[in-house]
Structure 1
Amino acid sequence: MPKIGQMLDVQASQPAAERFLCEVAYVNDGDTLRCTDGTRVRLHAVAAREADETCSPGHPCPAATAASATTELRRLAANRTISCEPVGQSYDRVTAICWSSAEVEINCAMIRSGTTLVWEKFD
C-alpha cells in the first residue's frame, strides 16, 4: 500500500484502466464526495472533522474546522470530473486516491491544505 507522500509517484505507474471517472455531483464533507452515478467516494487515508465539528473516537482530529475542509474539497473537486483509483471499501463507500483533470492528487492536496490529516492507520 503506498504512503500518502509516495502517491504521486505511484499514480504515474498505475494503468489508467484501474481508475474510474467520477463526475462529482456533491461534496459531503472534507473527505467524502458523491459521483453523479451515485458512487460514494471516501478519500483514502485522509481524515477530516465530521460536519458537526466532532471527531469520531479513534479517528485523527484535525485542528481545522469541518467547514474549511469541506470548502477545500469543493474547491478541488466540485462540479468536476476526477479520476479515482479504488483502494478498498468503507461502509457503503469506495475508498480511493483521486486526481483532478490536471493530475493534482486530491488526497495529498487536502492534507497539504492543512484542513485534513493523514490517517496513519490506513496510510
Structure 2
Amino acid sequence: MLFTLLLAAAVVPNGQTFACTPTRVWDGDGPIWCREGAHVRLAGIAAREIDNSCRPGQPCPRASGPAARDALVRLLGGPRGQTSTGHIRVAGSTMRCVSTGEAKGNRTGAWCSAPGIGDLSCAMIATGTVLRWERYAKGRCRSR
C-alpha cells in the first residue's frame, strides 16, 4: 500500500512505501521535490554538489554537479523551467519509493522506482554522472 504524506516535507519513516510525483530537482542525488510532500534524497549514490564540490567522506564522481543534475532531470522527463532558487522543474511520472529514513534535515532517503526506468539510483549510476556509495547501497546497483 502506498503511504500518502499529510505534512509538507515530512520525513517518511524508514521502511514505509510512498508515492512521489517529481516536481523539482536540485542536484544529481536529490533532493527531488514530490507533489505529495516529500523531499527525496536518492539512496545508495553520491553526486557532486551543484557548485561542483564534494562533501568530505563521500565518493566524488568525475562528472560535474550540473551534469549529474541534468542526467536526473532527463530521466524524470526533461526540464520544464527553473525556479527563482535554481531548482529545475520536472513533470515526471509517479514513482514508487521505499524510505531508508532521514537524510539530513527534512529529506527522506529512498530507493525509488520510476515507470520505464526501474530503480532510479541504479539508472543514475548507469549515466556515469554519480557513483555507487557502498556504505548505503546495501548490495544494490552492482555492475554485471
TM above 0.5: yes
Partners in 2 of 1:97 and 1:60 — Cα distance? 18
Partner of 1:82: 95
Q: Kindly state the Cα deviation for residue 103 of structure 1 after the two structures are TM-superposed.
A: 5.2
Partner of 1:97: 111
Aligned match for 1:24, one of 22, 25, 33? 22
Q: Kindly state the Cα deviation for residue 37 of structure 1 after the two structures are TM-superposed.
A: 3.1
Change (3 A) 1:35 1:99: same
Partner of 1:107: 121
The structure with the greater share of residues assigned to helix is 1
Output the amino acid matched with 2:27. D
Where does structure 1 differ by over 6 angstroms across 4 or more consecutive aligned residues?
none
For these two proteins, the number of residue pairs brought into alignment is 108
List gaps (5 residues or longer) in structure 2: 3-15, 77-89, 138-144
CA RMSD of aligned residues (A): 1.4
Partner of 2:63: 64
Asked if structure 1 preserves the Cα contact closer than 8 Å seen for 2:97 and 2:110, the reply is: yes
Partners in 1 of 2:28 and 2:18 — Cα distance? 20
Partners in 2 of 1:106 and 1:121 — Cα distance? 18
Change (3 A) 1:113 1:50: same
- Residues 65-96 of structure 1 show CA distances to partners (whole Å, capped at 9, x for unaligned) of 11111011111123112111112211121111
List gaps (5 residues or longer) in structure 1: 1-15
Determine helix, strand or coil for the equivalent of 2:21: strand
Structure whose alpha-carbon radius of gyration is higher? 2
Change (3 A) 1:108 1:49: same
The normalised TM-score by structure 1 is 0.81
